Chain A
Amino acid sequence: MGAEPPVKEPSPKIVIVDESPIRAAILEEGLLEAGFTGVVHISEMQSLLSRIYALDPDVILIDLENPSRDILEQMFQVSRAVRRPIAMFVDQSDSASIQASVDAGVSAYIVDGLKKERIKPILDLCISRFNAFAKLQDELERAKSALEDRKVIDRAKGILMKLKGLTEEEAYVLLRSTAMREKKKIGEIAQSILTASELLK
């Protein structure tokens, strides 16, 4: 730790604008664990600006899939509604952070005056949680398709057992060897058996 004495500053008020409740929960949980207590999640885009003005946050995090992001850009403009000027997302010089956050699919808006060293951990956490969510979603997709494959294979096995009088074990071996010979996935071979049996009905 540096020589500076610990500064007792209040936790910055953070608003998460995200229509995905799961991702927002993952992020909120991470922020709370890291000691950021003032976190509010907005999932309703109706009158977004007035809600943000009322909350008067220090940091706003928004996902890049959200069309309402353009609405937030209005906060840079001089206007009666803005109590404090909102700066742009990260420091101009910190292009690596900008790149990382755009890559992760999130953008941060920060009220002018908040110190860079206070923003960095929030942004880093946000980026890693967004990436974790994307990975989770990816795994979920893969698990789903594996489950689909499994169902298709089971049905194809059933057809082979019935038509060729095979045991379950034999039916599976036949599927697997065919897949290897044709350089295809077992799921694909099973699907073609289902399609063929559908046609021949």
Chain B
Amino acid sequence: MSTALHVGFIPLIDAAALLVAVDKGFTKAEGLDVTLAPEVSWSNVRDKLNVGLFDAAHLMAPIAIASSLGFGHVKVPLVASFNLGLNGNAITVSPALHAAILREVEGDPFDPMVTARALAHVVATRRKSGAEPLTFGMTFPFSTHNYQLRFWMAAAGVDPDEDVRLVVLPPPYMVDSLAKRQVDAFCVGDPWNSIAVDLGVGHILNFVSDILPRAVEKVLAVRQSWAERNPQVLAALVRAAVHAADFIEQPENRAEVADILAHPERMGVPADVIQRALACRLKIAPDGTMHEDKNYLLVGRDGAARPDPAQAAWLYAQMVRWGQAPLSPAALEAAMAVFRPGLYDAALGRRPGDAGSVLSDNGIGELRLVDAFAGPRFDPHNLEGYLASLGYSHHETRSD
């Protein structure tokens, strides 16, 4: 007997483990009959998961946390027991902004600190000349893209709320908006960065993996109440996703994976664009310049699939830093509890302390550090200290 599941996703490369799990039959082998539903907005994915139209969903990690804590919308506790991907985003800029930044660059242009400082110069010059502030597109208020852009520019003293404009754009509109000069830059996952480069309307300035080498991106989210009622089904879904992630990470399978994802009912973009992202080797300029970073997108390898509560703490810290959430120990704890490495381990039949199990459970004692290209070392035990050294003070909730 198979269990029918409805699972929502947004057509992006980091949905790969979910799409391959279904289309290669890994879910069927686990006794699951999964219907995949493509969605047009993150709000829809969140709401359909929250009200039960979806059993599970490809969801941006910060949305899972915001939903669980009731930030920005209805409070529905979610859990994430599988990371669909780490990293995979890039900052793409218009040819004009690219040229302006390159004129100011002092040092290695692949170093995000160098580009952030150059951006600060461009911003200052524009202000002096009375030009409009630069506009950056990102995908959602509670998005990794929002926090990654802010983290990057703030490291060089650019105030993301005062010095530039950050606007939400649905990913499929990003390239068009850049071409029409409605935005000067955007931060998004692939295929959209590569498509902008292929069309000659954008340059990839930095991979986000250069800014944060291990940043959780999408999770496989379910309602906490559903997880409690259906532990076996959830475990089966996680196992299918783990098998899919293993399949995706074998270089000899890349062409097949790209074909699966390229299908019109999945992503509907050319397979070669998908292959570049899977290979972590992207065309970054319309002239064909390539750039590679082995951490550009991690789907399962190096322990990427196992949820890490420290990552949830980092995302919560960004919400506090930018005035989206109050700082409270209870909220921090609740945010971290969204990420469930224990459920991941249980699905794979691992017990706490087994070989291959890095963490015992949700305890924060043995957490992996969240590294970043700049700023203080992240410490989930001392969020206040971390935020203070970033220059955070409680003025953030503005009312102007």
A interface residue numbers (CB < 8 A to B):
49, 64-74, 76-80, 88-89, 92, 95, 98-99, 102-103, 107
Contact = CB atoms under 8 A, between A and B. Distances in A.
B74 A98 contact: yes
B282 to A, nearest CB: 25
Interface stretch (B27-35, B91-99, B166-174, B293-301): B166-174
Contacts of A79: 161
A64 B44 contact: yes
A99 to B, nearest CB: 5
A70 B397 contact: no
A68 B168 CA distance: 9
B53 A103 contact: yes
B168 A74 contact: yes
B167 A77 contact: no
Given A66-B41, A98-B47, A102-B47, A77 B141 contact: yes
Contact of A70 (B42, B324, B399): B42
Given A70-B41, A99-B51, A102-B51, A78 B398 contact: yes
B396 to A, nearest CB: 8
B139 A70 contact: yes
A72 B398 CA distance: 20
A69 B44 CA distance: 8
Contacts of A107: 43, 47
Contact of A78 (B73, B74, B139, B323): B323
B127 interface: no
Interface of B: 40-44, 47-48, 50-53, 70, 72-75, 139-141, 161, 167-170, 172-173, 323-324, 397-400
A73 B323 contact: no
A78 B74 CA distance: 18
Given A70-B168, A70-B170, A76 B72 contact: yes
Contacts of A74: 141, 167-168
10 contacts: A64-B44, A67-B41, A68-B170, A69-B44, A70-B139, A70-B170, A72-B43, A73-B168, A74-B141, A79-B161
A88 B70 CA distance: 11
A78 B326 CA distance: 13
Contacts of A80: 400
Given A69-B43, A71-B168, A99-B52, 20 more contacts: A65-B40, A67-B40, A70-B170, A71-B170, A72-B43, A73-B42, A73-B168, A74-B168, A78-B323, A78-B397, A78-B399, A79-B161, A80-B400, A88-B72, A89-B73, A89-B74, A102-B47, A102-B53, A103-B51, A107-B47
A35 B323 CA distance: 39
A20 B172 CA distance: 19
Per DSSP, chain B at the interface is loop
Given A64-B44, A66-B40, A73 B140 contact: yes
Given A78-B398, A78-B399, A107-B43, A73 B141 contact: yes
Contacts of B400: 80
Contacts of B50: 98
A64 B51 CA distance: 14
A134 B108 CA distance: 56
Contacts of B167: 49, 71, 74
Contact of B72 (A64, A73, A95): A73
A95 B43 CA distance: 16
B349 to A, nearest CB: 36
Contact of A76 (B42, B141, B397): B141
Contacts of A98: 47, 50-51, 74
Contacts of B47: 64, 98, 102, 107
Given A88-B74, A98-B51, A69 B41 contact: yes
Nearest to A65: B40
A69 B398 CA distance: 25
Contacts of B40: 64-67, 69
A175 B217 CA distance: 59
Contacts of B170: 67-68, 70-71
Nearest to A64: B44
A57 B27 CA distance: 46
A67 B173 contact: yes
A95 B51 contact: yes
Contacts of B169: 71
Nearest to A45: B173
Contacts of B161: 79
Nearest to A80: B400
Contacts of B398: 78
A152 B361 CA distance: 65
A80 B72 CA distance: 17
Contacts of A102: 47-48, 51, 53
Contacts of B41: 64, 66-70
Contacts of A92: 70, 74-75
Contacts of B75: 92
B172 A67 contact: yes
A102 B43 CA distance: 11
